[in-house]
Amino acid sequence: MTTMHRRRQWRDRRPVTMEELHMSNQYVAVLCVLAGIGTALVLLLLIFGQSFANLFFGG
């Protein structure tokens, strides 16, 4: 079966604008912050154990 449209080639792409680069940098920064927060929580849980978990879950 053949496709009815021509596939986009790498040379057909338009260049990336500075706004798109800025937005992608912001997305990467948000992901890094979320990963850092998650890593910090895991490390605190590993270091302080049950006393740290009780702060979140009570008990």
Question: Does 8 reside within a domain?
Answer: no
Give, as one character, the DSSP assignment of residue 5: S
CA-CA distances (angstroms) from residue 11 to 2, 17, 19, 20, 24?
22, 16, 21, 19, 22
Question: Does 40 reside within a domain?
Answer: yes
Question: Does 2 reside within a domain?
Answer: no
Give the pLDDT of residue 3.
Answer: 64
| Global confidence as pTM | 0.64
**How many structural domains compose the chain?**
1
Spatial neighbors of 44 by CB under 8 A, at least 6 apart, are 52
Question: Does 25 reside within a domain?
Answer: yes
Closest CA to 42 of 26, 34, 31, 4: 34
Q: Each residue of 12-57: pLDDT tens digit?
A: 788 889 999 999 999 999 999 999 999 999 999 899 888 888 888 7
